[in-house]
Amino acid sequence: MSRRLRMGMVGGGPGAFIGPVHKMAAELDGKIQLVAGAFSQSAERSRAAGLSFGIDPSRAYASYQAMIDAETKREDGIDFVVIATPNHLHLPVAEAALSAGIAVMSDKPATATYDEALKLEAVVASAGLPYGLTHTYAGYSLVREARSLCAAEALGPIRKVAVEYLQGWLSRPLETTGQKQAAWRSDPALNGPGGCIGDIGTHAFHLVEYVTGLKVTSMNAALRTVVPGRKLDDDCNALLRLEGGASGTLMCSQVAAGERNGLRLRVYGEKGSIEWHQEDPNRLSVKWLDGPEETRHAAGGYLSPDALAVTRLPGGHPEGYIEAFAVLYREFADGLIAWRKDNACVLPAMLPGIQAGVRGMRFIERAIESSRIEAWVEF
């Protein structure tokens, strides 16, 4: 394709967290350009965001419906929509775009509830259009290396998994101060029923299944709300059982004071184990039962083809969050370009899509149920 793919964003208004990250990541490889958006539910704020992003002011819309209506009538209309809003809008925006023949890249969680995710799965299937989900951590080269090691059974059969995602930013009732990221995340109507378990637990859950290639089959979760007056969970511990007999723990919290974005995964097989930290993403520790411990570095020529395929810089030039995000966009762009050519929707296998979205929503629903009945639940 001789031109860049045209992206329309929903969300990402003034002061938003992830919308601007989507723009940076989408445009990093020169395959995509932000050209339109409904950046806020306020027309004025949408216009202000459009100006700051440098798009044609006439393409900063007052609502996502207006954007889809206008853009489908243009010859140079958008090729896909990115959804970077609070969770309650993920389904309606995705549905409106897909029904209008526009592909979707959505931020996680896929929807606000599990029932919505099932509905979205049907919409995606009947539209036959590309749908990607930005589980950012799947874009790191050393996460791909860990996945390759598991796929090649280098560690032997997997016996144990330990994943934790610890943040401290909700240690106080920030939502009562008007802080916008905290406000919608603490409101069940805008966020959905899973608080911390949905916001970051889904990332941890996705990482486990993505790296090991094993599905979680049952879970015993304990969710609680630590900060008085908060309407949703902010702290969770869960025991997992996985296919093949492995067991695991998943811990997530947004009241772990002092923690910033502490996502850490450990996977133990019969012969060895791996350990990866999101805050130190250019190193993967590989420990062997019968050999010395290794540290694999990003961009090392010895890495797997899957890891090297998503490496941009020579070793010692750290890649981070934006680059990992950009990997997902590059794969989405490749899938969309292929779809435009052949009209067959086959996204790269490494890119999380609707299946991962449904799994994530099932995880939230199961965790809430397990915690409510204080017992193991099947998936």
Q: Which residues bind ligand NAD (CB under 6 A)?
A: 10-13, 16-19, 38-41, 64, 84-87, 89, 107-108, 134, 136, 180-181, 184, 199
The answer to whether residues 10 and 85 touch, using CB atoms and an 8 Å cutoff, is yes
CB of 49 within 8 A of CB of 23? no
* Closer residue to ligand NAD in complex, CB, 109/269: 109
- Paired tokens of 21: 């990250």
Residue 19 or 357 with smaller CB distance to ligand NAD: 19
Residue (15 or 157) nearer to ligand NAD, CB: 15
Report how far residue 149's alpha carbon sits from residue 212's, in angstroms, rounded to the nearest whole number: 9
Distance (Å, whole) CA 124 – CA 128: 6
Q: CB nearer to ligand NAD: give 39 or 339.
A: 39
Nearest approach, Cβ of 159 to ligand NAD (angstroms)? 29
Q: How far apart are alpha carbons 161 and 166 in whole angstroms?
A: 16
Closer residue to ligand NAD (CB): 203 or 296: 203
DSSP 8-class letter at 177 = G
Cα–Cα distance, 265 to 208 (Å, whole number) = 8
Angle, helix 90-99 to helix 64-73, in steps of 10 degrees: 20
- Mind giving me the DSSP string for 352-370? --HHHHHHHHHHHHHHHHH
In the complex, the smallest distance separating the C-beta of residue 84 from ligand NAD, rounded to whole angstroms, is: 5
Minimum gap (Å) between residue 115 Cβ and ligand NAD:
17
* Beta-strand pair 216-224/262-269: unpaired
Q: Between residues 126 and 176, which has the closer beta carbon with respect to ligand NAD? A: 176
Q: How many CA atoms lie within 13 A of 254 on its CB side?
A: 26
- In a 10 Å sphere around its CB, with 0-12 CB exposed, 13-18 middle and 19+ buried, how is residue 110 labelled? buried
Q: How far is the CB of 235 from ligand NAD (least distance, A)?
A: 18
Quote the least distance from Cβ 282 to ligand NAD, whole Å.
18
- Provide the β-strand partners of residue 238: 221, 250
| CA-based radius of gyration for the chain | 20
Q: Taking the complex as a whole, how short is the minimal distance between the CB of residue 28 and ligand NAD, in angstroms?
A: 15
Is residue 136 a contact partner of residue 18, using CB atoms and an 8 Å limit?
no
Nearer to ligand NAD, 13 or 50 (CB): 13
Residue whose CB is less far from ligand NAD, 194 or 272: 194
- Smallest separation, CB 61 to ligand NAD (Å): 9
**CB of 70 vs ligand NAD, minimal distance in Å:** 15
